[in-house]
């Protein structure tokens, strides 16, 4: 073929090519994308049928020569012509993606800010903030009349299966360091938990582990709703729903010798249950001299440190008491005894728990704002070794150990180390006599005191003061 013939052939081929369709403008593509989003997936134009290559034997060459024009033996195959890189489609609508990403980042940033602020304040869990006033309804149930309960329910295994999901393990922290563990009873589906005040006292952060997740390290931050040291009761709150609240029983229906079970976390061993009987009824017990006497069950079911705040339940799995290892150690000079455990009767605890849930403290109480030695006579005898105490002071009065900053006593001449001999004309010598002296008084009422101090020369000096009572919102004295 001559050069002129080749040029003519190329020109005819160029004229025979079909023109390319016009490309859509960017705005048309955007409209088409939006229409596709609302109308459903975009349908691709029909594609030419492609036939899959026939399977080749395992030892077949990967290159199949053209049978019409076979390559001569030993001749190298000509390289395939380079068709160029595929044309890059220009990026469209980048500003939409950027705007969407910016909105997501702003939302994440705002959420992180809120979480950080809550963690810094440490007073909010979920929608609850410490100090909120709510209305509480807790139901108590009578003991089933039919003793023939469902199979397994009236056994340790049946009780554990029913009650254990309602028992939690509590961890306490102070300044970031772990300080102790205890137990708690789930009261409501939305995360209110009852425990002992001594479990949560002196801590500034709390965490709770559920029985259902005892094999994991997952815990939930908790907020202290309120505590009452005078009755050794407290309430925590976690931000969860769908929990398993315990069934609360009626402690007035409990009988001496009745079988009971103690559930809790002794020594941090979560999900423990011990078996015993009611070995004593209506025991008047208090853990410290400044606490109130509480009506308690005595039981030989093992109640050890870590069990505090857990549940004492009957054969039907109803909570009839809140266990406290501290009460057991307070009997007989503070030593612990085998088979001697105590639990606050649930009927005694319920009014306190409800008030703590509703307003964070027990209303209608007053406090003085002092600490004094629990054994005034022993302190007087110790002082008598240095000076001879006058007869009128021997065995009477309370010696002040400390005065709270918010107490009205800071505005008087009474100082730590000195004595209060009488309040409103009634002699005082311990917490019980002090409580009787101010019984019936309210916050802001004035108390007249006869006091004494021992001067440097050993002489007794008496003096009188007046101070006003505080509203008790702390459960302290």
Residue 374 in this model has a pLDDT that exceeds 80: no
- Residues in a beta bridge with 366: 471
Greater confidence (16 vs 399) lies with 399
- Please give the average per-residue pLDDT across 384-410, as a whole number: 76
Counting residues of the chain whose pLDDT is more than 90, the rounded percentage is 45
How far is residue 34 from each of residues 27, 89, 177, measured CA to CA in Å? Answer: 11, 19, 56
pLDDT on residue 19: 47
| Nearest CA among 288, 277, 359, 300 for reference residue 327 | 288
Environment class of residue 138 by beta-carbon count within 10 Å: exposed (0-12), middle (13-18) or buried (19+)? middle
Cα 178 from Cα 223, distance rounded (Å): 16
Average pLDDT, the chain: 77
Q: Which two tokens stand for residue 445?
A: 């009422």
Is the Cβ–Cβ distance between 276 and 301 less than 8 Å? yes
List active site positions. Answer: 198, 232, 308
Cβ-Cβ contacts under 8 Å for 443 (sequence gap 6 or more)? 366, 469, 470, 471, 472
Residue 163 in this model has a pLDDT that exceeds 50: yes
Greater confidence (185 vs 388) lies with 185
- Please give the average per-residue pLDDT across 202-221, as a whole number: 86
pLDDT on residue 85: 43
Task: Report the range of poorest mean pLDDT among 34-48, 262-276, 331-345, 366-380.
Answer: 34-48
Cβ-Cβ contacts under 8 Å for 209 (sequence gap 6 or more)? 168, 169, 171, 218, 219, 220, 270
Q: What domains can be seen in the chain, in order of their start residue?
A: 156-359 (2.40.10.120), 366-471 (2.30.42.10)
pLDDT on residue 80: 44
Give the pLDDT confidence of 222-275 residue by residue, as tens digits. 999 999 988 999 999 999 999 999 999 999 999 999 999 999 999 989 899 999
Task: Report the range of poorest mean pLDDT among 60-74, 195-209, 407-421.
Answer: 60-74
Residue 58 in this model has a pLDDT that exceeds 60: no
Residue 162 in this model has a pLDDT that exceeds 50: yes
Task: Report the range of poorest mean pLDDT among 7-11, 136-140, 302-306.
Answer: 7-11
Residue 465 in this model has a pLDDT that exceeds 80: yes
pLDDT-based confidence at residue 476 (cuts at 50, 70, 90)? confident
Residue 309 in this model has a pLDDT that exceeds 70: yes
Greater confidence (88 vs 361) lies with 361
pLDDT on residue 312: 98
Cα 293 from Cα 341, distance rounded (Å): 16
- Please give the average per-residue pLDDT across 346-369, as a whole number: 94
Task: Report the range of poorest mean pLDDT among 4-8, 71-75, 136-140, 185-189.
Answer: 71-75
pLDDT-based confidence at residue 447 (cuts at 50, 70, 90)? very high
Counting residues of the chain whose pLDDT is more than 70, the rounded percentage is 62
Give the pLDDT confidence of 111-133 residue by residue, as tens digits. 655 554 554 444 555 555 655 66
Residue 372 in this model has a pLDDT that exceeds 90: no
Residue 151 in this model has a pLDDT that exceeds 60: no
pLDDT on residue 392: 54
Tell me the Ramachandran region of residue 117: left when phi exceeds 0, alpha when psi lies from -120 to 50, beta otherwise.
Answer: alpha
pLDDT on residue 303: 92
Residue 33 in this model has a pLDDT that exceeds 80: no
pLDDT-based confidence at residue 430 (cuts at 50, 70, 90)? confident
Buried b (16+ CB within 10 A) or exposed e, 414-438: beeebbbbbbeeeebbbbeebbebb
pTM of the model: 0.65
Cα 157 from Cα 160, distance rounded (Å): 5
pLDDT-based confidence at residue 203 (cuts at 50, 70, 90)? very high
- Most confident residue range from 76-80, 217-221, 241-245, 380-384: 241-245
């Amino acid at each position: 073929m001559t050069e002129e013939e080749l040029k003519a052939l190329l020109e005819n081929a160029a004229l025979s090519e079909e023109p390319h369709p016009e490309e859509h403008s960017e705005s048309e593509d955007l409209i088409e994308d939006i229409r596709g989003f609302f109308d459903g997936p975009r349908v691709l134009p029909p594609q030419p049928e492609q036939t899959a290559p026939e399977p080749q034997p395992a030892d077949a060459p990967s290159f199949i020569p053209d049978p019409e024009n076979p390559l001569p033996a030993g001749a190298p195959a000509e390289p395939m012509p380079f068709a160029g890189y595929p044309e890059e489609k220009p990026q469209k609508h980048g500003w939409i993606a950027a705007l969407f990403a910016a909105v997501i980042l702003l939302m994440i940033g705002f959420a992180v800010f809120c979480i950080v602020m809550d963690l810094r304040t440490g007073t909010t869990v979920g929608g609850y903030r410490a100090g909120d006033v709510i209305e509480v309804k807790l139901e108590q149930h009578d003991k089933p009349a039919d003793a023939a309960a469902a199979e397994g329910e009236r056994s340790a295994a049946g009780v554990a299966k029913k009650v254990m999901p309602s028992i939690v393990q509590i961890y306490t922290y102070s300044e970031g360091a772990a300080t102790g563990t205890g137990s708690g009873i789930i009261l409501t589906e939305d995360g209110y938990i009852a425990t002992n005040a001594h479990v949560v006292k002196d801590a500034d952060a709390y965490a709770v582990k559920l029985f259902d997740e005892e094999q994991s390290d997952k815990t939930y931050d908790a907020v202290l709703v309120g505590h009452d040291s005078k009755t050794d009761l407290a309430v925590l709150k976690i931000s969860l729903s769908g929990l398993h609240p315990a069934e609360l029983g009626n402690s007035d229906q409990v009988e001496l010798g009745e079988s009971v079970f103690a559930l809790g976390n002794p020594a941090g061993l979560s999900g423990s249950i011990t078996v015993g009987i009611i070995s004593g009824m209506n025991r008047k017990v208090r853990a410290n001299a400044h606490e109130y006497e509480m009506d308690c069950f005595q039981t030989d079911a093992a109640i050890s440190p870590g069990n505090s705040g857990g549940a004492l339940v009957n054969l039907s799995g109803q909570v009839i008491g809140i266990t406290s290892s501290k009460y057991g150690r307070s009997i007989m000079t503070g030593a612990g005894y085998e088979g001697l455990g105590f639990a606050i009767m649930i009927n005694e605890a319920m009014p306190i728990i409800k008030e703590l849930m509703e307003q964070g403290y027990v209303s209608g109480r007053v406090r003085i704002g002092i600490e004094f030695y629990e054994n005034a006579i022993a302190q007087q005898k110790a002082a008598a070794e240095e000076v001879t105490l006058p007869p009128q002071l021997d065995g009477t009065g309370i010696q002040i150990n400390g005065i709270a900053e918010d107490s009205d006593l800071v505005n008087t001449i009474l100082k730590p180390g000195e004595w209060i001999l009488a309040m409103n004309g009634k002699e005082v010598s311990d917490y019980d006599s002090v409580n009787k002296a101010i019984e019936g008084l309210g916050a802001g009422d004035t108390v007249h005191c006869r006091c004494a101090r021992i001067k440097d020369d050993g002489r007794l000096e008496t003096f009188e003061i007046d101070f006003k009572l505080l509203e008790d919102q702390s459960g302290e004295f």
